[in-house]
Amino acid sequence: MLACLVVLGTDCAWADDSLAEGTLAKDPFAEQVTPFLAKYCYDCHQGGSAEAGVDLSLPTTLAEAQQQHARWNQIRGVVQLGAMPPADYDPLPSAEEKQAFAKLLDELVNRVDCNGNPGPGRVTMRRLNAAEYDNTLRDLLQLDFKPSEVVGLPSDDVGNGFDNQGEVLSMSPLLMEKYLSAAATITDRALLAKEATAVDVVIAEPSSDVSVRDAATRVFNNFLPRAYRRSVDPIEVQRLADLVVASVERGDSYRQGVALGVQVAIASPYFLFRIESPPESSEPSPVGPYELASRLSYFLGATMPDDELLANAGQNRLGKEAVLREEVRRLMAKPSGDTLVTRFFAQWLGLTALAELSPDPQQFPLWNTKLAKAVEEETLRLCRTVVSEDRSLLDLFDADFTYVNPRLAELYGMKYLGQDPAEMYFHGPGSVENPQSRKWDLATRGEPYQLEDRWVRVPASKGRRGVMTHASVLALTSNPSATSPVKRGQWVLDVVLGDSPPPAPPTVPSLEETAAGAEGKPLREQLAIHRENPSCAGCHKMMDPIGLGLENFDAIGRWRDEDQGQVIDPAGELAGERFSGPEELMSLIRRREDDIARNFVERLMTYALGRGLRPADQCAVDEIVEAAKPSRYPMSALITGVVLSDPFRMHSQPTQADN
Partner 1 sequence: MAKFTPLDRRTFLRGAGVALALPMLEGMRPSLATASGSAISGVTNAATASPVRLAWVFFPNGTNYKKWKPEGEGRDWRPSSTLQAVQSVRDDLLVVTGLAHGNARSLGDGAGDHARSAATFLTGAHPVKTHGAGIRAGVSADQVAAEAIGHGTRLASMELGAEHGRSSGQCDSGYSCAYTNNISWRSATQPTAKEVNPRLAFERLVGGLGGERKDANRRQAEKRSVLDIISDQARSLEGRLGGADRRKLEEYFESVREVERRIEHLAANDHDTEASASLADLQAPAGKPESLTERIRSMYDLMVLAFQTDSTRVATLMLGNEGSNRRFPSIGVNDGHHQLSHHKKIEEKMAKIALIDHYLAEQFAYFVQRLKATPDGEGTLLDNCAVMYGGAISDGNRHNHNDLPILLAGRGGGAFDPGRHVKAKPHTPLCNLFLSMFDAAGVPAERFGDSTGRLTTLGS
CB of 178 to partner 1, least distance (A): 9
Q: Which is nearer to partner 1, 253 or 419 (CB)?
A: 253
Q: Is 186 helix (H, G, I), strand (E, B) or coil?
A: helix
Question: What is the enclosing helix (H) or strand (E) of 574?
Answer: strand 572-574
Among 463, 480, 498, 522, interactor with partner 1 by CB under 8 A = 480
CA 407 → CA 290, 389, 448, distances in Å?
A: 46, 26, 9
Segment 270 to 309, residues that bind partner 1, using CB under 8 A: 270, 272-273, 275, 277-278
Among 27, 132, 134, 156, interactor with partner 1 by CB under 8 A = 156
Q: Which is nearer to partner 1, 163 or 395 (CB)?
A: 163
Among 54, 92, 366, 529, interactor with partner 1 by CB under 8 A = 54
Segment 75 to 94, residues that bind partner 1, using CB under 8 A: none
Segment 597 to 626, residues that bind partner 1, using CB under 8 A: 611-612
Decide if 570 contacts 551 (C-beta within 8 A): yes
Q: By CB under 8 A, is residue 145 in contact with partner 1? A: no
Segment 173 to 212, residues that bind partner 1, using CB under 8 A: 173-177, 180, 183-184
CA 331/CA 387 separation, integer angstroms: 13
Among 35, 154, 234, 429, interactor with partner 1 by CB under 8 A = 154
* Distance from the Cα of residue 43 to its chain's centroid: 40
Residue 355 DSSP one-character state: G
Q: By CB under 8 A, is residue 170 in contact with partner 1? A: yes
Query: What's the per-residue H, E or C state across 75-142?
Result: HHHHHHCCCCCCCCCCCCCCHHHHHHHHHHHHHHHCCCCCCCCCCCCCCCCEECCHHHHHHHHHHHHC
Q: Which is nearer to partner 1, 126 or 464 (CB)?
A: 126
Among 481, 580, 631, 656, interactor with partner 1 by CB under 8 A = 481
CA 615/CA 107 separation, integer angstroms: 12
Instruction: From 92-100, 112-120, 190-198, 245-253, give the range in contact with partner 1 by CB under 8 A.
Output: 245-253
Q: How many CB atoms lie within 10 A of CB 277?
A: 11
- What is the amino acid identity at position 569? D
Question: DSSP readout, 276-328?
Answer: -PPPSSSS-EEPPHHHHHHHHHHHHHSS---HHHHHHHHTT-TTSHHHHHHHH
SS3 content of the chain, % helix, strand, coil (to 5): 55, 5, 40
Q: What is the contact mask toward partner 1 in residues 356 to 385, using x (rule: CB under 8 A)?
A: x-x-xxxx----------------------
Q: By CB under 8 A, is residue 459 in contact with partner 1? A: no
CA 626/CA 604 separation, integer angstroms: 16
Q: By CB under 8 A, is residue 479 in contact with partner 1? A: yes
Q: By CB under 8 A, is residue 240 in contact with partner 1? A: yes
CA 354/CA 356 separation, integer angstroms: 5
- Provide CB contacts within 8 A for 438, sequence distance 6+: 422, 425, 426, 427, 428, 430, 431
Q: By CB under 8 A, is residue 232 in contact with partner 1? A: no
CB of 269 to partner 1, least distance (A): 5
Segment 511 to 530, residues that bind partner 1, using CB under 8 A: 511-512, 519
Among 117, 221, 352, 533, interactor with partner 1 by CB under 8 A = 352
Q: In 3D, which of 396, 357, 397 has the Cα closest to residue 373?
A: 357
Q: Which is nearer to partner 1, 352 or 461 (CB)?
A: 352
Instruction: From 268-276, 286-294, 311-319, 587-595, give the range in contact with partner 1 by CB under 8 A.
Output: 268-276
Instruction: From 29-37, 146-154, 416-424, 541-549, give the range in contact with partner 1 by CB under 8 A.
Output: 146-154
Among 269, 413, 428, 429, interactor with partner 1 by CB under 8 A = 269
